């Protein structure tokens, strides 16, 4: 197998695995909402919400952001949206497909 083809396959596998591996860390999922609403409103919390709350929800992360007082706390991101992680996965898969296509054409 050519080096370019191996790189393409690796990028495709990474592009599929990154969103799947990040799913256990996602907070704010609601089964009553649709797929698009869940994709736009869920994310991986970067800071703890309330200790008594258990799992951090999107609303609690946003409420905590409003309560902060210093500029550094206001500028610190509270969560990484799931849509960014999915976009990264799609981007890696497309780059992998392009690399596979280039490897096939150079044969």
Could you tell me the CA-to-CA distances from 30 to 22, 47, 98 in Å, in that order? 17, 20, 36
- How many domains is the chain built from? 1
Q: Is the pTM value of this prediction over 0.75?
A: no
Could you tell me the CA-to-CA distances from 36 to 13, 18, 30, 55, 83 in Å, in that order? 24, 19, 11, 22, 9
Q: Write down the pLDDT at residue 29.
A: 86
pLDDT in tens, the chain (107 residues): 788 899 999 999 999 999 999 999 999 888 898 889 988 889 999 877 554 444 556 666 667 666 656 777 777 788 899 999 999 999 999 999 999 999 888 77
Residue-number span of the structural domain to which 52 is assigned = 3-105
């Amino acid at each position: 197998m050519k080096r370019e083809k191996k790189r393409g396959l690796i990028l495709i596998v990474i592009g599929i695995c990154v969103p799947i591996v990040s799913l256990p860390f996602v907070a704010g999922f609601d089964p009553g909402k649709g797929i698009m609403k869940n994709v736009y409103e869920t994310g991986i919390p970067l800071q703890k919400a309330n200790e008594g709350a258990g799992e951090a929800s999107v609303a609690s992360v946003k409420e905590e952001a409003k309560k902060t007082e210093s500029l550094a706390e206001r500028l610190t991101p509270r969560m990484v949206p799931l849509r960014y992680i999915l976009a990264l996965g799609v981007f890696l898969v497309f780059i992998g497909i392009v690399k596979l296509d280039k490897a096939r054409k150079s044969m």
